[in-house]
Amino acid sequence: MNKLQKLLKEKGTLLADGATGTNLIPMGLDSGQAPEAWNFDHVDRIQKLHQSFIDAGSDIVVTNSFGGTARRLHLHDLQDRVVEINRAAAEIAGDLVAKSGREIVVAGSVGPTGDLLAPLGELTYAGAVEAFEEQMTGLKEGGADVAWIETMSSPDEIDAAIEAANKVGLDYVATASFDTAGNTMMGLSPAAFAQQMAGKNPRPQAFGSNCGVGASDLLVAAIDMVANADGLPVVAKANAGIPKIAGDKVVYSGSPELMADYVKLAMNLGVSIIGGCCGNSPEHVKAMAEAMRAHNGGDAPTAEEIIETLGPLVSPKSSKKSDRSNRRRRRG
C-alpha cells in the first residue's frame, strides 16, 4: 500500500506543507531564477524550508521540482540535467523525512510544461508524456512516494502526466487550479475534473486543487469535487489570500488565522489532505496544524458560509448568456 494511503487510513486527515517559491524569495531567490537550481546550489536552504514544514507538523512534503521538466528548465540552460535535478529534489526531502523519525510522504512536485498541447499549441501529447516521464524518472530514483502533479489546467496535460506516472511506475496525486470563473483557465470544471480522476485506471491516490486565486474560490470548487469524488480523497492547497507589494517584497493578504479557519471549513467539507500553496509560510502551516488538531467536527459549509468566513470569491462562476448563443452552426 502506498505510504500516502496508509497514512490517510491511520489519521483520516493529513496536513500537507506550504509554499515553495514564495518562501524561497526571502531566502534570496532572485526574480526569474530557477528554484530547481537550488537543489545543487543551495541545498541548505531547501533543507531549511522542508524542515520548517516538518517541524510545523506536515505529513506530506512537496519537493522543489515544480518546474522540473526539460521544457521549463531549458530557459535556465538546465535541460540536460532533468533527471539529476529531480532526483536531488526527492533525495533532499527524503533524507530529512528519514531523520525526522516520523511517517511523512515525499511528494514529487510536477508542474505544467508551460506549453499548450496540440492542436492549440506546438507540444504533442506524446511529447508531453515524454517530458513528464523524464522528470518522474528522476523523482522516483530519488525516492519520491508519489508524483504530485499540480497547478494543472488542461485535461490533456493532466492525462499526459498521469500516463507518464504509470509508465514510470509511480503512484500519483493530481491537483488543478480553478482560477477562471470557477473553472481552470482551459475551462475544466471541478466536477468534470473529479469525474476524469474517478474514471482513471489506476486511480489517483488523491486529487483536488491547489493555487488559483485564494482560499474561498478553492473551497467553493472543493464542494463540487467532494460531491463527484466517488470515494477518492480530495486535496486542498490554497494560497494565503492574494499577493501584494510591500516595498520590494511580495506579501500575501491571508493571515495564519485565516488559514486556520480554512482548515476547519475544509475538514467539514470532507477534504482529506489540506495544505497551503503560494504565500503560506511555516507559520501558516503551524496554525493549520493546530486547527486540524483542535477540530471537533461540524456540518459541511455552503458556498455562502465559506465566503462569509474567508472572504468574497475572486473569480466567481458566470451566470451570463452569450449574445451568440443562437448560432446556426457550431464548432463540432
Partner 1 sequence: MADEEDDIILSELDDEELSEQMQDDLYDGLKEEIEEGVNIFLERGWAPYDILTKVLVKGMKTVGDDFRDGILFVPEVLLAANAMKAGMAILRPLLTETGAPKMGKMVVGTVKGDIHDIGKNLVGMMMEGAGFEVIDLGINTDVDQFLAAIEEHKPDILGMSALLTTTMTYMKVVIETLKEKGIRDELIVIVGGAPLNEEFGEAIGADAYCRDAAVAVDTAKRLISQQQA
181 binds partner 1 (CB under 8 A): yes
Among 2, 13, 25, 48, binds partner 1 (CB under 8 A): 25
C-alpha grid cell for residue 185? 483557465
Q: Is 211 annotated as a binding residue?
A: yes
240 binds partner 1 (CB under 8 A): no
Distance in Å, CB of 69 to partner 1, minimum: 11
Angle at 83 between CA 137 and CA 105, to 5 degrees: 55
Q: What is the SS3 string spanning the chain?
A: CCHHHHHHHHHCCEECCCCCHHHHHHHCCCCCCCHHHHHHHCHHHHHHHHHHHHHHCCCEEECCCCCCCHHHHHHHCCHHHHHHHHHHHHHHHHHHHHHHCCCCEEEEEECCCCCCECCCCCECHHHHHHHHHHHHHHHHHCCCCEEEEEEECCHHHHHHHHHHHHHHCCEEEEEECCCECCECCCCCCHHHHHHHHHCCCCCCCEEEEECCCCHHHHHHHHHHHHHCCCCCCEEEEECCCCEEEECCEEEECCCHHHHHHHHHHHHHHCCCEEEECCCCCHHHHHHHHHHHHHCCCCCCCCHHHHHHHHCCCCCCCCCCCCCCCCCCCCCC
Among 179, 217, 224, 261, binds partner 1 (CB under 8 A): 179
Distance in Å, CB of 145 to partner 1, minimum: 26
Among 32, 101, 169, 297, binds partner 1 (CB under 8 A): 32
Residues 105-134 binding partner 1 (CB under 8 A) are 114, 116, 120-121
Per-residue contact flags (x/-) with partner 1 for residues 193 to 222, judged by CB under 8 A: --------------------x---------
Q: Which is nearer to partner 1, 250 or 307 (CB)?
A: 250
Do 11 and 59 touch, CB atoms closer than 8 A?
Answer: yes
Do 122 and 147 touch, CB atoms closer than 8 A?
Answer: no
Q: Is 99 annotated as a binding residue?
A: no
Q: Which is nearer to partner 1, 97 or 123 (CB)?
A: 123
Distance in Å, CB of 323 to partner 1, minimum: 5
Return the closest-CA partner of residue 239 out of 265, 260, 210. Answer: 210
29 binds partner 1 (CB under 8 A): yes
Strands 105-110 and 249-252: unpaired
243 binds partner 1 (CB under 8 A): yes
Give backbone dihedrals phi and psi of 316, rounded to 5 degrees, phi first.
-70, 160
Strands 60-62 and 105-110: parallel
Distance in Å, CB of 85 to partner 1, minimum: 16
318 binds partner 1 (CB under 8 A): yes
Segment near partner 1 (CB under 8 A); pick from 131-139, 257-265, 290-298, 322-330: 322-330
Q: Which is nearer to partner 1, 181 or 198 (CB)?
A: 181
303 binds partner 1 (CB under 8 A): no
Q: Which is nearer to partner 1, 122 or 257 (CB)?
A: 122
Residues 135-174 binding partner 1 (CB under 8 A) are none
9 binds partner 1 (CB under 8 A): no
Distance in Å, CB of 277 to partner 1, minimum: 9
Residues 42-101 binding partner 1 (CB under 8 A) are 71-72, 74-75
Q: Which residues are annotated as a binding site for Zn(2+)?
A: 211, 277-278
Q: Which residues are annotated as a binding site?
A: 211, 277-278
- Contacts with partner 1 by CB under 8 A lie at 19, 21-22, 24-25, 29, 31-35, 71-72, 74-75, 114, 116, 120-121, 177, 179-187, 213, 242-245, 248, 250, 278-279, 314-318, 320-324, 327-332
